[in-house]
Amino acid sequence: MSFLQDLFLAVVNMSITASYVAIGVILLRFLFKSSEDIFLYSLDASSFPPGMSIFL
């Protein structure tokens, strides 16, 4: 395969994985809606890759 095809497939796979993680986080937020806020904040933070700031 060419470089561009490999790059495209890598981006598609990362997008699919990110979608699964987002759906999982949303479902967990609904399940633990009445729990403490710090748990929900840490759950949200776990969906970001290390070194990435949500305040960019």
Mean pLDDT of the chain: 82
pLDDT digits (tens, 9 = 90+) for 24-37: 888 988 888 887 88
pTM for this entry: 0.66
Q: Which domain holds residue 11?
A: 3-45
* Residue 35 per-residue DSSP state: S
Rounded distance between C-alpha atoms, residue 12 and residue 9, angstroms: 5
Residue 12 structure tokens? 């598609």
DSSP notation for 22-50: HHHHHHHHHHTTTS-HHHHHHHHHTTSPT
Q: What is the distance between the terminal CA atoms of the chain, rounded to a whole angstrom?
A: 36
Residue 25 CB neighbours (<10 A): 15
Q: Is residue 37 part of a domain?
A: yes
Q: Is residue 56 part of a domain?
A: no
Our count of domains for the chain comes to: 1
Residue 53, pLDDT score: 56
